[in-house]
Every structure is written in C-alpha cells, then in structure tokens.
A and B are shown apart, each in its own frame.
Chain A
Amino acid sequence: MGENSILKVENLTKVFKTGGIFFGKKFRAVDSVSFTLGGDSAKIFTIVGESGCGKTTLARMILSLIEPTSGSIEILGRQVFELSSKERSRWLPRVVQPVFQNPFESFNPLRKVYPYLIHTAVKVAGVEDRGEAVELVNQALESVRLSPDIADRSPYELSGGQVQRLSIARAIIPRPKLIVADEPVSMIDASLRMGILNIFKQLKEELGINFIYITHDLATAYYISDRIAVMYKGSFAEVGEAEAIFREPLHPYTQLLIDSIPRVDRKWAGKVKVAVTEVEEYLLPGCKFADRCPYVMEICKKRAPPLIRTSGGVEVACWLYSAEKH
C-alpha cells in the first residue's frame, strides 16, 4: 500500500479502569486492534458490533479525541501521537473529520448554521478569501443536496435528517481524506436513512473521501461497505470484503450476528443462545466469545486466537481456522 496509505492502526489498545481506586478492575475496551485503510480508490470501511464492543472508543482514538493506552495511529504516513500540538489543531482537522450520531449536538442551537459553516471554511480549511469560502460552503451544501437557504436557519427549525446532512457538509468543507462517522443514521427515520447513506457513497466516488462507518446495523453496513470488521468485546473477530463476510461468515459470532438480523426477506429459524452478563466476558483469558460459542474447544478458554488469514482473503480470529488447534 505504501504511498497510498490513508490510515494505519497498529496494536491499538485502550484500557479503562472501573470501580474504586483500590479495588478497581481494568477493562480493555479496545484490545490490540490493527488495520490499514488506503489503496488506489477511496473505500468505506465499516466497523460493526454490539453496543459496548469498543467501536466508539476506537473511533474516538482515530479522531484523536482520546489517547490510546498503547499502540500507534498513522495518518497519511505521519504518526498522530508524534505531531506537535500546532499540527494537531491545524493539519489533522484538514485530513480527518468526524460525523457524530446526534446531529443536533454538532451545532450550537442558538446560532444559525451558515455562519458556522463559513467559519469552518476560514478557520479549519484555511481559506482566506471570503468569496472563496462562500463558494466552498455552497459546494459542500450542494454535495449533500441542501439549498443554501436551509443553512441560513437555526438547527431547531430543521429535521434530524437535514441537520445530519449539514454536519456532513461541515465535515467535507476542509476536503478531508477520511471521515469517521459514528452511528450517523441511527437517529434518522427509516424513510430518510438511505438518502444519507447514498451521500456517503457519492462523496467516496466523486471526492475520493474514505469513510470509517461505525454501526450496529448490519443491513446498512452491507448496503454501503467495501470492507467490514466485526468487532466483539474489544477485538476484531473477522475482517474482510463485505460481500465475502455476508455470503459466508466464518467466525461463530459473525454467524450468530448475521442470523439474528431481522431481515425483511427471510424469517428466523431455530433459537438463539443469549449471553448472561456483559462485563464478565471481558475478563475471560481466552477467546471472549467462548462462553456463547457452540463450537468451543479447550484452547479457546485458555488463549485468545490471533487473526488468521483464510484462503478467501478474510481474516478471522478463531481457533477453528487455525492449523494449531491443540
């Protein structure tokens, strides 16, 4: 990948402490996650998982909103945690931009949106000429299919779908290489969701913006992703081309997840085994899915499986696919 590498994440780990000062437990919210994003054309890379699997923590580390406990993040060949504070506040926002779940929290409710977008063009994108800033903002609004007069209102006058489009427009003003979108459509009504996801596809194709799409919704993940990582209790269980993973899920957790989607074209068959509690599993020494796994072996309870590359190109963290089973 070399030259075209947009993002390279290596052994990224975040440990949170829970409980009191003396008897607190450590809790690995993100545990040694590695992946790269880049290549000849822009991609949509989706991280899918249940609530509490660490996907938002991972996103926040990539956005430099929280510091990792260990590991490294390289953006366009530069180590993020070696950047000077000036570069972090100037260069980084021009390269990586966020889109959050609740669009109303992205904007000051008392301020009209348009001046804020102009401010973004001047301060973040570094445009000096006022006319050029207006041009840039109008282009961004056109990309998300909003007319400039909508941006001339206050956020509370607009619907959730419109405000989310505005926050996407804001994110593309600096022409970033990467947008990290954390559950961007989960608060949007079903009839308007596809419109927003289509904008992501279009921005990828027309402006060459890469996306990290964080979601719990597998159906929308299938709809827009090029590649998918299935995250379970802090680690990637399976990573690969979206098409391959949905066609033939390898990890028993991915299989359970895909089987549990309330599809609109096929009914559920059989019963599902549900985990007892949540935090306990984080403290298991071996594979964190061992307790719920129908194929559990002795080794699974003792050692965590590494990511194993299969012949189909998919990487899966499961001893079932390892030559070294016992």
Chain B
Amino acid sequence: MSVNTLVLDCRNVTAHYELGYGVRVRAVDNVSLSVRRGEIVGLAGESGCGKTTLMRTIYRDVTPPLRVLSGVVRLQATDGEMVDLYSLSEARLREMRAKVISYIPQGSMSVLNPTSRIRSQFIEIFQKYGGVRKDEALRQVKDRLRELGLRESILNSYPHQLSGGMRQRTVIALATIMNPRIVLADEPTSALDVVYQRGVVEMIQKIREMYGTSFILVSHDMGLHYQVTDRIALMYAGKIIEVGKTDDVFSEPLHPYTEGLINSLPRIGGSKRLEGLSGLPPSLANPPPGCRFHPRCPYRMEKCAREEPPLLKFGDREVACWLLEGKK
C-alpha cells in the first residue's frame, strides 16, 4: 500500500441546518477535503464556523434539522476499495463505524458511560464488533493499553475517577481499539491543560505510528495544529478557505484570514503589539455575498463582494481568494 493511498475523500459536500420559516444555516458549503493513510489533518477555525458539522457529515451522523444537500463522502473500506458512505445500508454503516471510521465527539465525559467501569466499556465494543470471547477481549484490551503506555488499573475505574487527561486518553484508546483507518477527533484537548494536552497528543502520534491510523484533528487552537498536524485546512463561515502543508501555511499564509489569524497569535519572546482581526465572523444563516470574509478583509476588492472565489490550486496548496487569481 503506498503512502499516498486515500483513506477519506470528501467532495463538494454541502450540509445545511433547515430550521423552518425559510431559515437555513449554511454550516458546510461546498467543502472538499481528503485524508491520506497515516496522515494527521488539522481542521482549524473559530467557534461556529462549521467544523463539527463537517465532522458529523463525514461520519454520516446526520439528523434533522441537519441535511446533506449535495456532495460525496468516500471511505476506504478495504485496501483498494473506496465506498460511498451515503449509499451504504444501516447495517453496513454500523460495521464501518467501528472498523473503518471512528468519531470522538467533543467532551470525553459524554462519551463514556458514567455508571460502568472502563473495563466493561472496552469489552462491550469488542463483543459487538470483534466477535471474540470475553477473556480473549480482555487480553487484547490489556495488550493495547500496554502498547499505548496506559496503566492496566484504569480498567477498574469509573470514568469520574480518572483525571481529565487520563479520561481523554482512555476515550482515544477506546475509539481506536478496532484499528479504524481514520479517526475524527473533535477538540480532543480543548478542556485540558497544556501538560495533559501534550500527553494526549503524544498518544495520537503513537497510534498513527504504530497502526498507520489517519486522523482529522479539529481544534480552534492554532498552536496545537502547528505542533501536531501534517496538513491543515482552515474553515471560515462554512467554507474551507485554505489547505496546505502545516509548516508552509504557518510560514507563508496565503489567504488574508489565515494571515490575520496567524499574525494575531501571541509569541513567547516576541514584543510586537498584536492586533486582532477587525469585525466579526458572519452569521451562517445570512452570510455575506461573494467571499464570506470580504467585510473583514484588509485587501478586499470590488469583485470580492460580488463573486465567490473558488478553491484554487497552487502546487500542494489550495486557497480561495481572488487576490491569487492568475498567480502560480
């Protein structure tokens, strides 16, 4: 299997919340994103820009008022076989959700069952999808915990007895126990302090190295993206506006929003006065015409208010901005 094998290919996906009375929240609008094997892709953007909705769409966790209007989400079910997630039967989808794609929603406490021990939560998953006996399941769980550097004693704990960092690492171990090809991790460290955050991140990197698992890491924390991700996609008001190799994007942001965001990050040792971006993120129920960033953009042109810029390709970078039209 080559390194460049696609694990997830999401093309032109549009998903809106249809709230009735003609109110439509355009949370995900014509978004394309692909993830290769063993890759950690970051999804960055401010709160309310559609990051979580995009994850739910990729996981086919779509319940009204959310509705997918167009687009294709393809997943690598087995080596060399891409399947369209939205054409699968419910039974096949359930199977895919443990073995191929795993989703860790925000807030680890809400993932674990507070009334049962960690041990039974691991075994339950094994019995449901692994088809092995209980003692065999327990042996495999213990092996896995050892590989990931977690103590066996956590199995006897209830979720509330673990510290936040340990609980989050347990959730990740649980989500990856069936060796999925891709894990969607939504703000896995946002409630944690920096030291624990680093522990969680090290575990994600270890899982990627050991099992070749791909990750989409959703976070509003740009520092985390810089530390962990291979590629980064920036979302603004329901659109992906820039995608590229993380180091390239940080050293030379091309979209004015990315540039503003990166320049507003405080740096230790720096003494420069920092200015935030002016203005506010738009409402997704009533986004501005043309480029959705144009009311806040310091370089806006007449065209920006009229026409929406497509995601243009420059080598391995993609940027949706009229400033770059015709440049190579």
Q: Which residues of B contact A219 (CB under 8 A)?
A: 223, 265-268
Distance A202 CA – B155 CA, assembled complex (angstroms): 52
Give the distance to chain B from A44, nearest Cβ to Cβ, in Å: 14
A262 contacts the other chain (Cβ, under 8 Å)?
yes
Number of interface residues of B (CB under 8 A): 41
A189 contacts the other chain (Cβ, under 8 Å)?
yes
Contact between B193 and A275, CB atoms less than 8 A apart: no
Contact between A277 and B262, CB atoms less than 8 A apart: no
Residue from the list A194, A196, A258, A276 in contact with B166, Cβ < 8 A: A276
Contact between B266 and A222, CB atoms less than 8 A apart: yes
Q: Which residues of B contact A276 (CB under 8 A)?
A: 151, 163, 166
Residue from the list B198, B220, B250, B273 in contact with A272, Cβ < 8 A: B198
Contact between A193 and B276, CB atoms less than 8 A apart: yes
Q: Which residues of A contact B222 (CB under 8 A)?
A: 190, 264
Residue from the list B164, B165, B197, B223 in contact with A263, Cβ < 8 A: B223
Residue from the list A195, A260, A271, A278 in contact with B163, Cβ < 8 A: A278
**Per-position binary interface string of chain B over residues 195-211, scored 1 when its CB falls under 8 Å from any chain A CB and 0 otherwise:** 11111001000000000
**Per-position binary interface string of chain A over residues 188-200, scored 1 when its CB falls under 8 Å from any chain B CB and 0 otherwise:** 0111111110100
Number of interface residues of A (CB under 8 A): 40
**Per-position binary interface string of chain A over residues 258-292, scored 1 when its CB falls under 8 Å from any chain B CB and 0 otherwise:** 10111111011001101111100000000000000
B113 contacts the other chain (Cβ, under 8 Å)?
no
Contact between A274 and B274, CB atoms less than 8 A apart: no
Distance A257 CA – B222 CA, assembled complex (angstroms): 18
Distance A268 CA – B228 CA, assembled complex (angstroms): 9
Contact A159 to B280, CB < 8 A, known contacts A260-B194, A264-B222: yes
Q: Which residues of B contact A261 (CB under 8 A)?
A: 194, 223, 268
Residue from the list A223, A257, A275 in contact with B266, Cβ < 8 A: A223
Q: Which residues of B contact A222 (CB under 8 A)?
A: 266, 268-269
Contact A263 to B276, CB < 8 A, known contacts A189-B47, A216-B193, A257-B194: no
A321 contacts the other chain (Cβ, under 8 Å)?
no
Q: Which residues of A contact B193 (CB under 8 A)?
A: 50-51, 216
Distance A264 CA – B196 CA, assembled complex (angstroms): 18
- Enumerate B249-303 residues with CB–CB distance to A below 8 Å: 250, 260-262, 264-269, 273-277, 280-281
Q: Which residues of A contact B262 (CB under 8 A)?
A: 264
A220 contacts the other chain (Cβ, under 8 Å)?
yes
- Enumerate A215-266 residues with CB–CB distance to B below 8 Å: 216, 218-220, 222-223, 246-247, 256-258, 260-265
Residue from the list A191, A271, A275 in contact with B46, Cβ < 8 A: A191
Residue from the list B195, B223, B226, B268 in contact with A274, Cβ < 8 A: B195
Distance A268 CA – B280 CA, assembled complex (angstroms): 33
Contact A190 to B220, CB < 8 A, known contacts A161-B280, A265-B267, A272-B202: yes
Distance A196 CA – B197 CA, assembled complex (angstroms): 25
Contact between B227 and A218, CB atoms less than 8 A apart: no
- Enumerate B213-268 residues with CB–CB distance to A below 8 Å: 220-224, 226-227, 250, 260-262, 264-268
B88 contacts the other chain (Cβ, under 8 Å)?
no
Residue from the list B196, B226, B276 in contact with A191, Cβ < 8 A: B276
Identity of the chain B residue whose Cβ is nearest the Cβ of A158 in the assembled complex: B280
Contact between B163 and A192, CB atoms less than 8 A apart: no
B162 contacts the other chain (Cβ, under 8 Å)?
yes
Give the distance to chain A from B77, nearest Cβ to Cβ, in Å: 34
Identity of the chain B residue whose Cβ is nearest the Cβ of A274 in the assembled complex: B199
Distance A51 CA – B190 CA, assembled complex (angstroms): 12
Contact between B194 and A191, CB atoms less than 8 A apart: no
Contact between B226 and A263, CB atoms less than 8 A apart: yes
25 A-B pairs with C-beta separation under 8 A: A50-B194, A189-B220, A190-B46, A190-B221, A190-B261, A190-B265, A191-B261, A191-B277, A191-B281, A192-B276, A194-B264, A198-B273, A216-B194, A220-B266, A222-B266, A257-B195, A258-B268, A261-B268, A262-B198, A262-B224, A264-B262, A268-B227, A272-B199, A272-B202, A277-B163
Question: B interface vs A, CB < 8 Å?
Answer: 46-47, 151, 161-166, 193-199, 202, 220-224, 226-227, 250, 260-262, 264-269, 273-277, 280-281
Please give 14 more A-B residue pairs, beta carbons under 8 A apart, in addition to A261-B268, A263-B267, A267-B226.
Answer: A189-B46, A190-B261, A191-B261, A192-B280, A193-B264, A260-B197, A261-B223, A263-B227, A264-B267, A265-B267, A267-B227, A268-B198, A274-B195, A274-B196
10 tightest CB-CB pairs across the interface, nearest first? A262-B223, A50-B193, A274-B199, A223-B266, A195-B276, A189-B46, A191-B277, A260-B194, A194-B276, A219-B266
